[in-house]
Amino acid sequence: MKTFGICRFCNIVSGQYQHADIDRPFCENDAFIAVASIGALIEGWSLIIPKKHQLSMKATYNRPELEDIMDQVIPSIVRKYRPLIAFEHGSNREGSITACGTDHAHLHLVPFSESLIPSLENSNLHWVKCHASEIASRVGNNEYLFYSEVGTKDEWRRHIGYLHILERPISQYFRQLIAARTGHYEASDYRKFPYLETSKQTRKTLVGSEAQIGVEI
């Protein structure tokens, strides 16, 4: 019997899967894995996760390994579903609700036809445009929210997005926006509504693309 550690994503990196038909990566390289997201309100919802345990993605946005895995994953998701939005709830504190219950960095990739930019602009939060690689120097030790729209892998290389530096923790911010747009606001808490069957289908579909993205499963 496998012994699971405290961090779910570290367990996945080490090959210990709570849900093997969801958690097994459908793409990986030396530094990152890509997995189907639990709690997916939309089929195709995936996560990019650094193999090294860290609280946010801020120090990884300029790593060539991230660009490499995005160059593989983005075309696969776009081909099977539609263009993507990408976002991060950037927690920099253990146990913060900004991390949505997971103290391990991850970037969400969601096939979604609508832009969330109008919602950001109409919020009471202050957003600034920035390159993802600038986040670390801009936020310091603060927590943050980051949003970007990704049509193709070439657009990710530019990865200009919208950054908000948090004054206080916010939980599941982007998930709540998507839930409201899709008419499922009552299901915005992924812990209460894990949508495991949707996550299983996402992995099944994207594993079917391994020939195109060069991944052995």
* % the chain with pLDDT above 70: 92
Q: Is residue 217 part of a domain?
A: no
Output the pLDDT for position 14.
95
pTM above 0.75, yes or no: yes
Q: How many domains does the chain have?
A: 1
Of residues 5 and 111, more confidence is placed in: 111
Query: Is the alpha carbon torsion for 173, 176, 182, 187 positive or negative?
Result: positive
Output the pLDDT for position 3.
52
Q: Say if CB 101 and CB 38 are below 8 A apart.
A: no
Which residue is associated with the tokens 């405290």?
6
110: enclosing H helix or E strand: strand 107-111
**Which residues is 46 bridged to in the sheet?**
36, 109
CATH number at residue 150: 3.30.428.10
Q: pLDDT-based confidence at 33, cuts 50/70/90?
A: very high
Kindly report, residue by residue over 118-172, the tens digit of the pLDDT: 999 999 999 999 999 999 999 999 999 999 998 776 677 777 899 999 999 999 9
Kindly report, residue by residue over 52-102, the tens digit of the pLDDT: 999 999 999 999 999 999 999 999 999 999 999 999 999 999 999 998 888
Q: Which domain holds residue 187?
A: 8-211
Which residue is associated with the tokens 């998930």?
175
Q: Is residue 3 part of a domain?
A: no
Range with top average pLDDT, 165-169, 181-185, 207-211: 165-169
Return mean pLDDT, the chain: 90
Q: Is residue 216 part of a domain?
A: no
C-alpha closest to that of 202 among 39, 68, 65, 72: 39
